[in-house]
Amino acid sequence: MVAVGLEAKKAVLFHLLNLNLLMDLGVSPPDSTPAPTNPVATPSHVCHILYGEEVCFSLLPPWVSTSRPVLKAPMAPVQIGTSFTLFTRLNYSVPAILDPNNLHSIINAPFIPDRPFKVITHGYFSHGGVSWIKMMVGELLRASDQNVIVVDWSVGAIPPYTQAVANTRMVGSQLAYLIHAFSKFADVPMSAFHLIGHSLGAHLSGTAGSHLRNNFGLLLPRITGLDPAEPYFNGTHPDTRLDTSDAQFVDVIHTDDAPILGFPLSLGMTEPIGHLDFYPNGGFQPGCSSGTHCNHHRAITYFTESIRQSCPLLAVACPSFQQFMDGECWGCEGENQCSPMGLSARPLPLPPHTKLFLHTKGRSPHCGYHYRIIVEISNTTEARDHMGEFAILHLRLTGNRDTTKPIRLSQQSVYYEAGTTHKQVVLTQDVGRLRTAGVYFEDLTWLLPRFSRRVYAKAITVEPLGKNLKWRLCFKTPYQKLDHQYQLSVKDSAC
């Protein structure tokens, strides 16, 4: 009951804040004048003719609930004017138009046989020619000789938001018909299709998957949701949104947990809804200090960068982002399994709605290499008599490939008490096989009247994520003075 109440309050806040013009990227779609229509409606459903067949949409629960108090019927296909365009390496500058009403446009489409189909769908108040879609199409075609379909439903994605939400049901059904036509008439196997949708486009892709399953007995192999929209979808029935039943593998990237104007409402979903749910940085993206859309858009950036794989976006299954950063979830075996986030994500033998976490950089390229740093404090009589010390550890790693910039392990002072162990995950470049580590403990309490300021550190262990490697470096001195530099070597591993 508490969860339902919270979602109902969020829905009310959504209407009070009048977010119609704030969702998605805020890019005006091309002008178009909807054609009039006269659908046959009843209190329980509305029906439209879709590619020669009647398709009906329920107006009863779960399509209306406390989380979505305003219910609208989907607009007619002629009003929305959905278009599908096919890009390949051979026709990148002049894409082919696909029309399920005209089977010749599908059978004779210039697609590359026996190659994958990536289907990209935009979200609210956007269109198929927006810059991020052009960039994603280009990256996909540079990476592989494949087929890329862009879904443009820009007229159906304009305000009011509640109407756009309703229209995802119609456009999702249209997309399902297109995929079915390729499967039935062009001999394209279902295993070729991968749907990629942002914001409302993520839920639209889920609708396509459920329509294919329920109406044609076909199951999509994969849907990737890029920060699926939260308003009208958080806390709702799985039938109304993207869900694990919509494809064999549903992976979701959640990047927006930032409150809007101080209200407990974000543009992107926080609820796990996929087989694997990735939460980079816990939902607050570095470099997004301002702007409503930055966090919401970052899921697109991460996925696009994952296509080139300049460095890994490796995530770890963990209960929370804080536990991940504290080094409590590590390694890629057992419960703490790993998966790349983005294009290379693959199913894991874990329960649905498994949360995975990773850290990213604030600037592009956002990917990097995770290392777990473990600091061991001696438990000698001298260390216990000293009664611990407050300090901030700075680390500089040098390997056979590279040397990192100084890494600050914490923002605030840590109390290094005798016999304790401190773990922290950091993100930096790949140093290769570790050779040395430069260490110093920063003193932020030097004004306090204490004569001897020292840390009794015994050793530091460095573990790269995703590799069966571990380096333990020992201090040569029984204690370390604050604000003094110390150089540790992997050769000194006995302590």
Q: Compute the residue count for the chain.
A: 495
Cβ pair 455, 479 in contact under 8 A: yes
Active site residue 199: yes
Cβ pair 136, 300 in contact under 8 A: yes
Distance separating alpha carbons of residues 219 and 59, to the nearest angstrom: 25
DSSP code for 260: B
List the catalytic residue out of 199, 205, 210, 378.
199
Distance separating alpha carbons of residues 85 and 452, to the nearest angstrom: 71
CA distances from 219 to 59, 236, 244, 250 (A): 25, 22, 11, 12
Q: Is 215 exposed, middle or buried (0-12, 13-18, 19+ CB in 10 A)?
A: middle
Active site residue 296: yes
Q: 435 is written with which tokens?
A: 């050779």
Active site residue 131: no
**Strands 338-340, 276-280: parallel, antiparallel or unpaired by DSSP?**
unpaired
List the catalytic residue out of 296, 297, 386, 422.
296
DSSP code for 441: E
List the catalytic residue out of 65, 173, 210, 227.
227
Cβ pair 315, 366 in contact under 8 A: no
Query: Peptide bond before 74: cis, by omega within 30 degrees of 0?
Result: no
Tokens 């210039």 found at: 110
Phi, psi dihedrals of residue 130, rounded to the nearest 5°: -65, 155
Q: Cite the active site residues.
A: 199, 227, 296
